[in-house]
Amino acid sequence: MRLLLLNKPFRVLTRFARSDERATLADHVAVPGVYPAGRLDYDSEGLLLLTDDGRLQSLIADPRHRLEKVYWAQVEGVPDEGALRRLSEGVLLNDGPTRPARAQALPPPAALWPRDPPIRYRAAIPTAWIELGLREGRNRQVRRMTAAVGHPTLRLVRWAIGPWTLEGLAPGEWREVPTADVRAWRSTLAVDDDPPRRVGGPGGATSASARPGVARYASTPRGPARSSAGGRRSTGRPGRGPRR
């Protein structure tokens, strides 16, 4: 059972297979048999988890399990308390109302790297950062939510998924979570067992354990994962193609 934390760069597809000239995960992760647990848009950045374990993939990706995902969004304008309250309580989108979320103003994150290319700068329109914690996963949800309250998203970074964060990872870098830490996290969940299944991504499949039922959270540790054995951290750069 393997779990990798990747800082997905801007303009990288969340898949390994290549169908055009756009960069993919294969440009950054040269580890066979792992696939994304969930998605992250081509024009979004930040934390993406990859695993070779079907049960773990389901626990992370399935919105039924309500694993919190934390996003940092740079938005157009400065949201007031009313806008943040609407985001927290839920906003009406074209596919229905969103669930309650965490929403708060955020100082410009010192831990972030410059984006390449940078966002469009307009001197007459200020920008601000907000943090959103979501426990559901609709298509382009953060962008649609901020637009619904009058503050379109200019840059979007996923900082955390459950107990794992981007801490210490530059764009394109990844590190592996020790198996003992993954098992400890899973032990905080009560999960119903189902028959074994297979899991995979584009271009292949890998034998994996069962798809679980709905998980109940007993506790959720927070903080960055530790590096793999010996404290080494892979940059995931072997075989990396040109940056786009």
| CATH code for position 99 | 3.30.70.1560
Cα separation, 155 vs 76, in Å, equals: 10
The total domain count for the chain is: 2
The closest of 168, 153, 178 to 230, measured between CA atoms, is 178
- Tens-of-pLDDT digits for all 244 residues of the chain? 999 999 999 999 999 999 999 999 999 999 999 999 999 999 999 999 999 999 999 888 877 777 899 999 999 999 999 999 999 999 999 999 999 999 999 999 998 999 989 998 887 889 999 999 999 989 999 999 999 999 999 999 999 999 999 999 999 999 999 999 999 998 887 555 444 344 555 444 443 333 333 333 333 344 444 443 333 444 444 444 444 4
Which residue among the candidates 41, 52, 62, 193 is catalytic per the annotation? 41
Residue 50: CB atoms within 10 Å: 26
Question: What is the structure's pLDDT at 64?
Answer: 74
Question: What is the structure's pLDDT at 193?
Answer: 44
How, if at all, do strands 153-161 and 45-51 pair?
Answer: parallel
Domain termination residue (choose one: 138, 161, 184): 161
Q: Are residues 195 and 139 in the same domain?
A: no
Cα separation values, 92 from 55, 87, 99, 151, 185, Å: 32, 10, 10, 15, 34
Question: What is the structure's pLDDT at 200?
Answer: 56
Give 18: exposed, middle or buried? Use CB within 10 Å, 0-12, 13-18, 19+. middle
Range of the domain at 12: 1-63+164-244
Residue whose entry in the numeric block shows the structure tokens 């996290």: 185
Q: Are residues 201 and 150 in the same domain?
A: no
Give 123: exposed, middle or buried? Use CB within 10 Å, 0-12, 13-18, 19+. exposed
Helix 81-89 and helix 141-148, axial crossing angle in degrees, nearest 10: 130
Say what the pTM is.
0.78
Q: Are residues 2 and 83 in the same domain?
A: no
Q: Are residues 17 and 131 in the same domain?
A: no
Question: What is the structure's pLDDT at 61?
Answer: 82
**Active-site residue, 52 included:** no
Question: What is the structure's pLDDT at 73?
Answer: 98
The closest of 14, 3, 1, 84 to 46, measured between CA atoms, is 14
